[in-house]
């Protein structure tokens, strides 16, 4: 689908509180194969999500170590995860270290997933992803590992306030850009 037809469809799906605040922009260069164009989402006329530019206000990670050392990343642990570490170690590890081991494992999995999502995103064509978003159920976009699909779904009017509130725990495990759009939808931004 061409951008001039896709943009109005995306804007029609915006949640009423975000109409006029969120703007989709896409440019492409037809005769220049080395230039992929730019795709971005602006909020209140500020570039928030720009796939080709690192100057946005959202933190984009360069390595898994950046993620592991970021104090803003808070990984919730359940008692079941700690119990699993206790079983794996056979009770040979002191109790105070079990939570540290479980946290480190979960943080490493989160870091690998975040880096994989960023790499995929940088190779993704905004228009192709937006076309997928428009053609699939909203539940699939919310459950997807694709950052852009998550962002588009979070600002969608088909996602009600109750569902947004119920997603609080799962959004903590997503990329900071997804967390930003979650906070925007909740009215925190």
Question: Into how many domains does the chain fold?
Answer: 2
Does 182 share its domain with 93?
no
The Cα–Cα gap between 29 and 170 comes to: 37
Tens digit of each residue's pLDDT (9 = 90 or more) over 119-152: 555 445 677 888 899 999 999 999 988 888 999 9
The Cα–Cα gap between 126 and 119 comes to: 14
Does 39 share its domain with 91?
no
- The phi and psi torsions of 68 (rounded to 5 degrees) equal -65, -30
Does 127 share its domain with 53?
yes
pTM over 0.85? The answer is: no
pLDDT over threshold 80, residue 95: yes
Tens digit of each residue's pLDDT (9 = 90 or more) over 83-92: 888 888 888 8
Does 165 share its domain with 131?
yes
Instruction: Look at the chain and count its residues.
Output: 189
Does 52 share its domain with 79?
no
Does 128 share its domain with 181?
yes
Does 10 share its domain with 56?
yes
Tens digit of each residue's pLDDT (9 = 90 or more) over 25-77: 877 666 655 555 567 788 998 888 776 544 445 566 667 777 777 777 777 78
Q: What is the pLDDT of residue 123?
A: 42
Read off the pLDDT band of 174 (50, 70, 90): confident
Residue 138's domain comprises 3-60+116-186
Residue 175's SS3 state is coil
């Amino acid at each position: 689908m061409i951008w001039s037809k896709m943009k109005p469809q995306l804007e029609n799906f915006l949640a009423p509180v975000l109409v006029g605040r969120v703007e989709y922009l896409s440019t492409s260069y037809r005769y220049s194969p080395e230039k992929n164009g730019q795709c971005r989402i602006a909020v209140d006329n500020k570039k928030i999500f720009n796939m080709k530019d690192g100057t946005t206000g959202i933190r984009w990670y360069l390595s898994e170590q950046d993620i592991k050392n970021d104090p803003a990343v808070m990984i919730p642990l359940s008692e079941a995860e700690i119990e699993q570490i206790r079983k794996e170690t056979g009770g040979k590890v002191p109790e105070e270290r079990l939570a540290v081991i479980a946290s480190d494992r979960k943080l490493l999995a989160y870091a690998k997933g975040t880096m994989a999502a960023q790499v995929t995103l940088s190779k993704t064509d905004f228009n192709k992803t937006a076309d997928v978003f428009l053609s699939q159920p909203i539940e699939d976009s919310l459950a997807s590992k694709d950052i852009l699909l998550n962002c588009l779904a979070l600002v969608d009017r088909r996602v009600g306030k109750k569902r947004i509130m119920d997603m609080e725990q799962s959004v903590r495990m997503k990329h900071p850009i997804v967390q930003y759009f979650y906070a925007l939808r909740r009215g925190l931004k």
